[in-house]
Chain A
């Protein structure tokens, strides 16, 4: 496409390869060809809240798990927890532990996908390498060991989900009140026996990644490296949790801004920023207002807010992680590092849970009718805090549903990160693949699942568009 020399220009990337969802990025250029503004558009409609109306609440977990093929288990868990609240039951302890293992398996497989399949090509082959080779098969050719490890880890997570849930993509095992079936000895042992290998892989990958981080100084300084708040749930003792806890918010200095917030009251402290260019529900911390209330969720946030993991190796890694920066760790590039530590934690924590004989208990489901007209369920999905909020009528039919998903929490920070990275790497005169890849890469660091943030089923699609000051689209990048 021809350049128009005097006008402001915009770049559009479509599709951002290797992320799950559907979105478009517009880069607005000023008269000097510098990036003046960046917008991440999520173009699909929302619809799930509407689908739910009138349906029996017991259908919600499965319905919700279908919002997203990427982390169905997290939706299942948050949804089932909202249903537990509607029934006003405390689920059996074994059921809770089983749900935890299920959730950890999801985090593990999702993180493995994000790190190895989607992002490791950048680390191993380079951000400027040939895009035709810059994928997991390219990695396999260059560093077969790493590719194999990634595939093994992901497979392991998926197999656990399959063992427990029966079906890989949309398991129906997590139900309101607990889980539908107890864990068999055979399944427990099959998971246990694979854990040592997974532990080794997790440790080796971490060591390797820490060794190569040095090569990415430029990316570290420009990939969403700015102060924001961080949000997530922690246990009462401040320990990291994926399953149950209260919301804690930490500022860029690493100081606790708020803690012990009941997730059910999210409306009191989370505001929603409606941007005209996107359907994504982007949230901010109300007491700080907008834009100071921008926060991040997900692996980086969890490491910034939690006091500890509560497992030996992950805790050591956490201490080392905090040496990167005395304050909170600010660059979104470090999401990758945080993700690897969480993989390690998942393996260690599964071991703890499976070693507990109670895990085989046959009491795994509380039966009850709806006893409360409103219920909120929260969980930490791989990508961050996930909230499901339902209201039902006297008969248990859904009247209303709301959801806040990780990608929505991160919406504002992602936008700002795109701007930062684009300012650093994109210059209008030369549209190079490598710089566009960096714009995509910053999005991949957040590992967003854009399909579920817009509550519609969709495949990955993202475009970067270069827009001139007069609004004319002067260049576009789309990859096959």
Chain B
């Protein structure tokens, strides 16, 4: 039984909502059809607040707060869309594009990419920052999957799903800041990884074309993510 005290009421964009105390601003927004951009967040994985795309304004706080990892509070007044927020979001997205090499027209994820979709949604027609054009590899050593670092946005979904859901913890990060790379095991070729079970969860949660199944041609890498909430729910029921 849910106790009354666990229900919070709050305002998002001047509309009144109530929510469970363990829900985030993003959860409430999502349930009520309010669009907040996000990319590192994925339902079923723990929130990390890494991409900062979901920043919102909360009355009384002079910091912007990530909607994906901020729990609702009683009396909260949230604003999801302002000039300033839109500007930040666009800058963040543009920077994501400049950090690596995104050539959508030849990408396996073209048309099904969360990064691309967000860019379209936020009306990004060109990028105002200098591209870095890093020279990054594709690791195609795995039998069935490849990782193309040129399209990785370091969202850590692969790291989390592999650790939290599959329990293999094959993926991790190496290096700092902009130099970071996702790695398998101790930066060994994916194909020789001892821990990878080949389940493919990382491939399907990856928001971009960074992780993909081999043999897919342009625009053919459709990702299925519905399995995640079910898996988490089933595990909770069994534990």
Contacts and interface: CB of A to CB of B under 8 A. Distances in A.
A358 to B, nearest CB: 23
Given A395-B141, A396-B140, A397-B140, A58 B216 contact: yes
B219 to A, nearest CB: 6
Nearest to A396: B140
B106 interface: yes
A172 B140 contact: no
Contacts of B214: 56, 58, 369, 396
Contacts of A172: 217-219
Interface in A33-92: 54-56, 58-59, 61-63, 66
B105 A62 contact: yes
Contact of B105 (A54, A55, A61, A66): A66
B138 A397 contact: yes
B217 A176 contact: yes
User: Which of B141, B148, B191, B214 is the most central at the interface, judged by chain A CB atoms within 10 Å of its CB?
Assistant: B214
B48 to A, nearest CB: 29
B220 interface: yes
Contacts of B191: 395
B215 interface: yes
A170 interface: yes
A378 to B, nearest CB: 21
B140 A62 contact: no
B105 A170 contact: yes
A180 B220 contact: yes
A58 B146 CA distance: 12
Contacts of B217: 58-59, 61-62, 172, 175-176, 180
B137 A66 contact: no
A204 interface: no
Contacts of A54: 137-138
User: Which of A59, A66, A170 is the most central at the interface, judged by chain B CB atoms within 10 Å of its CB?
Assistant: A59
Given A62-B105, A62-B106, A170-B105, A55 B138 contact: yes
A175 B106 CA distance: 12
Interface in B129-145: 137-138, 140-141
A365 B188 CA distance: 34
A56 B214 CA distance: 8
Contacts of B148: 56
Contacts of B138: 54-56, 397
Nearest to A398: B138
B105 A367 contact: no
The SS class assigned to the A binding surface is: loop
Contacts of A395: 140-141, 146, 191
A86 to B, nearest CB: 11
Contacts of B220: 175, 180
A390 to B, nearest CB: 14
Given A66-B105, A170-B105, A395-B191, A59 B140 contact: no
Interface string B192-220: 00000000000000000000001111111
A395 B190 CA distance: 11
Contacts of A176: 215, 217
Nearest to B189: A395
B137 A58 contact: no
Contact of B106 (A59, A367, A396): A59
Contacts of A175: 217, 220
Given A54-B137, A395-B140, A63 B215 contact: no
Interface string A443-460: 000000000000000000
B114 to A, nearest CB: 20
A367 B137 contact: no
A55 B146 CA distance: 11
Nearest to B110: A172
User: Which of A172, A367, A369 is the most central at the interface, judged by chain B CB atoms within 10 Å of its CB?
Assistant: A172
A132 B203 CA distance: 57
Contacts of B146: 56, 395
A59 B137 contact: no
B141 A369 contact: no
Contacts of B108: 58-59
A337 B71 CA distance: 75
A253 B140 CA distance: 52
Contacts of A66: 105-106
A267 B223 CA distance: 42
Interface of A: 54-56, 58-59, 61-63, 66, 170, 172, 175-176, 180, 367, 369, 395-397
11 contacts: A56-B148, A56-B214, A58-B214, A59-B106, A61-B218, A62-B106, A66-B105, A170-B105, A172-B217, A175-B217, A369-B214
Given A172-B217, A369-B214, 6 more contacts: A58-B214, A59-B217, A59-B218, A66-B105, A369-B215, A395-B140
In the A-B complex, list the 4 residue pairs whose CB atoms are closest, starting with the nearest.
Answer: A395-B140, A62-B218, A175-B217, A172-B218
